[in-house]
Amino acid sequence: MKYALTAVVVAFTFTPLVAFSGGDPEHVKFPQGYEKTFTKYLTANRANQKQVAKLYANKTAISSYTQGKEGASGSVIIMEIYSTKTDTDGKPVPGDHGVFEIDSLAAVAVMEKQDKWDASFPAENRTGDWGFAVYNPDGTEKSNDLNCVQCHTPLQGQDYLFTYQKLVDFVKKP
């Protein structure tokens, strides 16, 4: 099960949106060139068992975790979301280590942590100090209606990251 992200996910219930709480591309920008400057710490099937995620952390996040701390201000985590190749039944085709075979990059989800966000960024659209936004692969905005805050807020004990333990384990590797 090393490559599956099954953890906390099943239990979410969805209440109608009261506040917006979605992604905010006005404040959380697309980190241009992240493929070259960020460190990839995980490739795994998504909890939805339909897509593959590749996870990247910037230098600030990697150095915080290396020191055994949660992400410092300026940390950025990226999740590339890939569609998968499917068989004749429409099921994703398993590849190496059970990770589905990738078809194409569908979206880039960004989480950025700042201890001093601009006052125009409503606190209810953030989780702790993390802001959210999701982009197309070319860096243009996607629909940001998903309630990012709702799903990530329960993960207070792990820096609000689903892949927290994977990042902790990754930085420990020699």
Q: Determine which residue in the list 52, 55, 99, 102 makes contact with ligand HEC, applying CB under 6 A.
A: 55
Per CB under 6 A, 108 contacts ligand HEC: no
Q: Determine which residue in the list 30, 34, 38, 53 makes contact with ligand HEC, applying CB under 6 A.
A: 53
Phi-psi region of 49 (alpha: psi -120 to 50; beta: other; left: phi over 0): left
Residues 112-131, interacting with ligand HEC (CB under 6 A)? none
Per CB under 6 A, 52 contacts ligand HEC: no
Per CB under 6 A, 132 contacts ligand HEC: yes
- Evaluate whether 143 touches 135 at the Cβ level (below 8 Å): no
User: CB neighbours of 76 closer than 8 A, spacing ≥ 6?
Assistant: 31, 34, 38, 57, 58, 60, 61, 110, 111, 112, 113
Is the four-CA dihedral 166, 114, 29, 147 of positive or negative sign? positive
User: CB neighbours of 161 closer than 8 A, spacing ≥ 6?
Assistant: 77, 111, 152, 155, 167
Residue 141 or 172: the one with the smaller Cβ distance to ligand HEC is 141
Is the four-CA dihedral 72, 5, 55, 142 of positive or negative sign? negative
- Evaluate whether 71 touches 113 at the Cβ level (below 8 Å): yes
Per CB under 6 A, 41 contacts ligand HEC: no
Per CB under 6 A, 154 contacts ligand HEC: no
Q: Determine which residue in the list 3, 29, 39, 47 makes contact with ligand HEC, applying CB under 6 A.
A: 47
Per CB under 6 A, 77 contacts ligand HEC: yes
For ligand HEC, which stretch binds (CB under 6 A), given 33-41, 61-69, 118-126, 155-163? Answer: 155-163
The contact set with ligand HEC (CB under 6 A) reads: 5, 9, 12, 22-23, 46-47, 53, 55, 77-79, 109-111, 132-134, 144, 146-148, 151-152, 161-163
